[in-house]
Amino acid sequence: MKRLKIIIDTDPGVDDAAAILMALASPELDVLGISVVAGNVALQNTVINACKIVNLSGRHDVPVYAGAAGPLVRQQVYGKYAHIGAFDDEIADIGNIKPEQESAVDFIIRSAKAAVTSGEQITLCSIGPMTNVALALIQHPDVRLGIKQIVSMGGAFTAMGHRTPWAEFNIYADPHAGDIVFKSGIPIILMPLDMTFQALLTQSQMETFRAGGKAGQALFDLFTAFDRSDPNRLGREGGPVHDATVIAWLIKPELFKGHETYVGVQITGLTMGYTYADFYNKLNHVPNALVMTEIDEAGFLNLLTERIAGYGAVHHNGEKQP
């Protein structure tokens, strides 16, 4: 089986943790590294969280790179739980994992250039603000030649926002970076709130994470500590696992339905960070994104819980997962 080479660009974050653990447990994916950006919390904490997630996974072969500490232009904003900072050591410890000396932006540039040379393009999984990706494109526009696609969790259309009434957080945190990426010409597969709100993880499903050893228990503790349910808005119990949909699409794209369209980002004024999708071709622009509009909820949640449960299984070499 040929494995898909990916970089995960992230701002961990609870659902980022689920996405990273899911990716690191999936034999279909070759995770070249994890590039980290400020977002849900400040950079020093997102980096610590990324290192803790890697340690939980037991995948000490996967490097972590620290990237942009703030957005390109706008004033810094953080996620809903920014005051929490790094994950509690009692939930996840960092072990001996340390970030690399090379910056996340340089890592993306180097990896994309190597992909051009090898003829095997990489996939970028963008599950945080797009600052690192935009900086790589600004510094070396030719890196786009080494990137097969950007699979991103971001944007909100009819669902509206969750960080503001009009904006999804990843785009809102750095709309100028989002604008650069959407105009880059790189194929984009987008997981907006409109779709991620369709798949809600319930308390009973969270319980199944505990079958995944130390990693699964930590994920259960994180989801329990940071309640993501919003029945008043979503109409039922359970919370979305936004970022994990990116990894699920890479593994089983048949779980999703989408629509090719042009997506733009508002970068000025009161509604800065608003994303719009021209589903009915009113602007007569060439589509720049495949926007996911539907998800097989049961299939997605089964895939997620199955991969996390794998951390409690025995490796092929006979060693126990942490």
> Is residue 320 over pLDDT 50?
no
320 in any annotated domain? no
Confidence of residue 85 (pLDDT cuts 50, 70, 90): confident
Answer yes or no: is pLDDT of 2 > 90.
Answer: no
Task: Indicate the SS3 state at residue 87.
Answer: coil
Which whole number is the average pLDDT over 86-90? 91
Catalytic residues: 242
pLDDT tens digits, residue range 192-201? 999 999 999 9
Mean pLDDT along residues 131-143: 97
pLDDT at 304 over 90: yes
Asked whether residue 319 is assigned to any structural domain, the reply reads no
Residue with tokens 């942009």: 68
Q: C-alpha angle with apex 292: 289 to 295, nearest 5 degrees? A: 165
Mean pLDDT across the stretch 228-232? 82
Strands (E), the chain: 4-10, 29-36, 64-66, 122-126, 147-153, 188-191, 200-201, 239-240, 256-261, 263-265, 275-277, 289-295
Does residue 141 form part of some domain? yes
Residue 255, domain member (yes or no): yes
Contact 142, 185 (CB under 8 A): no
Q: Is the pLDDT score of 109 beyond 70?
A: yes
pLDDT above 80 (res 84): no
Structural domain includes residue 95? yes
Average pLDDT, the chain: 93
- List, as one string, the DSSP characters of 31-68: EEEEEE-SSSS-HHHHHHHHHHHHHHHT-TTS-EEE--
Residue 91 placed within a domain: yes
Given a cut of 50, is residue 211 above it in pLDDT? yes
The token pair at 239 is 């919370």
The amino acid that residue 19 corresponds to is A
Q: What is the mean pLDDT of residues 45-64?
A: 97
Assess if residue 128 is contained within a domain: yes
Give 319 or 204, the one with higher predicted confidence: 204
> Strand (E) positions, 197-314?
200-201, 239-240, 256-261, 263-265, 275-277, 289-295
Phi, psi of 272 (to 5 degrees): -55, 130
Q: How confident is the model at residue 32 (pLDDT cuts 50, 70, 90)?
A: very high
- Give CA–CA dist 249/241, Å, rounded: 13
**Residue 171 maps to which CATH number?**
3.90.245.10
**pLDDT above 90 for 13:** no
The pLDDT of residue 24 is: 98
Number of structural domains (the chain) is 1
To the question of pTM greater than 0.85 for the whole model, the response is yes
**Distance between CA 308 and CA 213 in Å, rounded?**
9
Residue 317 in any domain: the answer is no
Question: Which residue segment(s) compose the domain that 268 sits in?
Answer: 4-312
Cα–Cα nearest to 172, from 66, 291, 272, 42: 272
41 has a pLDDT exceeding 90: yes
